Amino acid sequence: MNLTRRRFTQLGIEATLALRAGRLLAQGVSTHTAKPLPRPAASGRPFNARFVDVADRAGLHAPVIYGGVESKKYIVESTGCGCAFIDYDNDGWMDLFVLSGTRLEGAPEGTTNRLYKNNRDGTFTDVTEKAGLRFTGWACGVCIGDYNNDGFDDIFCTCFGQNILYRNNGDGTFTDATKPAGLWNDQERWGAGCSFLDFNRDGHLDLFVSNYVRFSFEHAPVPGQNSSCAWKGIPVECGPRGLPTGRHSLYRNNGDGSFTDVSERAGITRATPSYGMTVVAADFDEDGWPDIYVACDSTPSLLFMNNHDGTFREEGVLRGAALSDDGMEQAGMGVGIGDYNLDGHLDLFKTHFADDANILYRNDGKANFEDATWSSRLGVETRYVCWGAGVVDLDNDGYPDLFMVTGHVYPEAERKLPQYANKTPRAVFRNLGNGVFEELVEAAGPGVAAAHSSRGCAFGDFDNDGDVDILIVNMNEAPSLLRNDVGGNANWIKVKLEGVKSNRSAIGARVLVSYGGKTQAQAVVSQSSFFSSNDPRLHFGLGSSHTSNIEVYWPSGLHEIFKDVGANQLLTIKEGIGPVPSRGWSKA
């Protein structure tokens, strides 16, 4: 058998992981003792973004219930859930969808996932009941997309138990279409991440679902019961190590409102068993076909490359996106996607457990990834368990920054190890424009410095003022809504795409914006961060540039270019037609 050098490398790493696995079963989660880099002196450069939590005044009062508060008996209580920006009524203003969980003894009265309608004045109205979206259970992830191409975004929710597909009826209400769509499972599963994507480019959105662990309350071990039920000598919830892995699923859209499970024939089930978490689907090798990245907890992350024939090959290890630079598996939680170094290629930012650095994978444009974590100085921060994350330009200076939310999974550990607090601040790493990042906390405003135990977060412009705001899920607290108050005179542009031959949501499209001698790539994706879905209007900070050139690579294969586009506007582009009026757009 003729083996390439990369294949030898893969075999060597897999053998090492197999030998290491037994030793690491002494703890339930992949955690390391990475020594943080020394913190350099502050750059002294002003940061013009400032975040303030306006959730209370905006009307987001209901807590996100999720498991025990002081301690947790089972792993299902600790993973938490996501959230989404969605314009469900097509009025041009982003509404909010916030998932919730339950408790072992049962949920408090009123616990449910919640849909908040944007009142266009900085406040929101809870329309959950009216919209038909009331649900109480262990909700996990959410992905947004127009699966039936009727012009209204639909919602897919993953759960421990049964996943749910909500079809948007176009009148402010939703219908549970799970069974007629063929997405109901006879057996309970722990659905985790999900993404709509058009893997066969037929114009209809297919669906990928990652499954975390095979879990049942009847057979699950309890804290201290075995070697995978302890962390740093403290009895804690068991897993994921020691629990059986989940099986990931790919569903093909039949074009008639139903789906067919093609996981086996597409090659998804041949991947190395893993604890799947957040799913991001995008064209990483720029061949015009969407690939699938799955952040995995305590197992190598997965990268499914599209073969253009309805099948995939899993090459996460081969392409450098599965492990750390030193070959260690990590506790992959969330994934941000963007072009941090402005080379026109989609990079990945993956969050991990405490005592480990979050990892930045630099893409060469052919889906070969290099670990840039330490060279970019992200290794200064290893204290927190990190979850939702984004590669987003927070201050509109033209350089994408990194944002993440944090919070521990073992609230009981803080009593014996106070350095591992349950509630911890959010973190901003501002892009200095030279491949290096600078960590900011207090300088980014009180909304960032506030301590919470958070999980999912989504990025979008809820007040239509030309910057990126952040919706955050906090465990057993009300969500946070961080309003971004950007100062200075930096410019920006937003791009919204409407597919014609492509799927209506244009999910899978890749957009390049050129400005001031720089080029930035972004992709329209259905899920990223941690179990969450962002504003589908792509936001580009332009710095001092007043115009930009925009290239769109549509999922259908169409390539369009728009030159000298003026700044500080939402540009809505209809496939094959060009710019069209932006529905409902108004600056607050």
Distance CA 570, CA 145 (A): 20
Strands of the sheet containing 469-474, edge to edge, are: 51-53, 480-484, 469-474, 454-460
Give me the domains of the chain, ranges plus CATH numbers.
Answer: 56-580 (2.130.10.10)
Q: Is the pLDDT of residue 16 over 60?
A: no
Q: What is the CA radius of gyration of the chain?
A: 22
Distance CA 261, CA 249 (A): 7
Q: How far is CA 10 from the centre of its chain?
A: 27
Mean pLDDT across 33-54: 88
Task: Write the pLDDT tens digit of every residue in 564-578.
Answer: 999 999 999 999 999
- Residue 18: predicted pLDDT: 45
Share the mean pLDDT of the chain: 94
Q: Is the pLDDT of residue 17 over 60?
A: no
Q: Is the backbone of residue 376 left (phi > 0), alpha (psi -120 to 50) or beta?
A: alpha
- Beta-ladder partners of 428: 403, 440
Which two structure tokens, joined as six digits, stand for 145?
A: 């997309």
Q: Is the pLDDT of residue 4 over 50?
A: no
Mean pLDDT across 383-394: 97
Which two structure tokens, joined as six digits, stand for 21?
A: 């696995």
- The more confidently predicted of residues 386 and 13 is 386
- The more confidently predicted of residues 196 and 382 is 196
Task: Write the pLDDT tens digit of every residue in 202-248.
Answer: 999 999 999 999 999 999 999 999 888 999 999 999 999 999 999 99
Is the Cα dihedral 216, 457, 241, 362 positive or negative? positive
Q: Cis bond leading into 240, ω under 30°?
A: yes
Q: Is the pLDDT of residue 400 over 50?
A: yes
pLDDT band at 182 (very low <50, low <70, confident <90, very high): very high
SS3 state at 16:
helix
- Residue 8: predicted pLDDT: 40
pLDDT band at 32 (very low <50, low <70, confident <90, very high): low
- The more confidently predicted of residues 4 and 328 is 328
Is the Cα dihedral 405, 410, 414, 419 positive or negative? negative
DSSP string covering 193-256, please?
Answer: EEEEE-TT-SSS-EEEEEE-B---TTT---TTSSTTSEETTEE----STTSPBB--EEEEE-SS
pTM recorded for the entire structure? 0.95
- Residue 58: predicted pLDDT: 99
- Residue 326: predicted pLDDT: 84
SS3 state at 536:
coil
